[in-house]
Amino acid sequence: MESEESSGIEELSKKLDITMERPEALESLVESNPEYADLAPYLRISIASLRTAIALYGEPLKITQYAKLIKPPQP
């Protein structure tokens, strides 16, 4: 059961990383095309908010995953 939970956390962490790649690709597209220059500030704000939300969700997952790897010493 522990390995199922661990793999679930790893899978969710990977999905969060993939979720962040999409807005970053969109940001690079907007920055490379001058016709979208008016949208760039709004996109940056949106991406910053998304990064914050994912960090608030993802970091506890990473800590939980790490904590499960560490086993307390047996007396």
3-state secondary structure 17-49: HHHHHHHHHHHHHHHHCHHHCCCHHHHHHHHHH
Asked whether the predicted pLDDT for residue 2 surpasses 80, the reply is no
State the pTM of this model: 0.56
Q: What pLDDT score was predicted for residue 1?
A: 47
Report the amino acid identity of residue 45: I
Residue boundaries of the structural domains of the chain: 2-69
pLDDT level of residue 9 (50, 70, 90 thresholds): confident
Q: What pLDDT score was predicted for residue 6?
A: 59
Full DSSP string of 51-62: HHHHHHHHHHHH
Report the amino acid identity of residue 16: L
